Amino acid sequence: MNKIEKIDNELEKAREKAAEWAAKVRELERQRQEEENSQIVQAVRSLKLTPDALAAFLSNPANLAATSGQVGPKSADTQKEEPADEE
């Protein structure tokens, strides 16, 4: 076997390994996406929102207080403004 044939054999093996690794990468990416989707579904379910409330939240996340069951304005403690520094 001459040198070119040896290189060709090594090249073919390397290509096979590259194809195997590419397939492994695709499979791991698929598994990761599936797990990420599962975690998102769990998080959404933990909110215990009705489908209408979830749709409203997703269309305007600023309405979270309205969908969280909070009634009325925030307490006075959270509405106080910081005093301005006077010099």
Average pLDDT over residues 1-11: 95
The whole-number pLDDT of residue 11 equals: 98
In angstroms, the CA 20 to CA 39 distance is 29
How confident is the prediction for the chain on average, in pLDDT? 82
In angstroms, the CA 84 to CA 67 distance is 34
**pLDDT one-digit tens code per residue, 32-84:** 999 999 999 999 999 899 999 888 888 987 765 555 555 445 555 545 555 55
Domain extent listing, the chain: 3-66
In angstroms, the CA 28 to CA 16 distance is 18
Q: How many CB atoms lie within 10 A of CB 81?
A: 5
Query: pTM for the complete prediction?
Result: 0.56
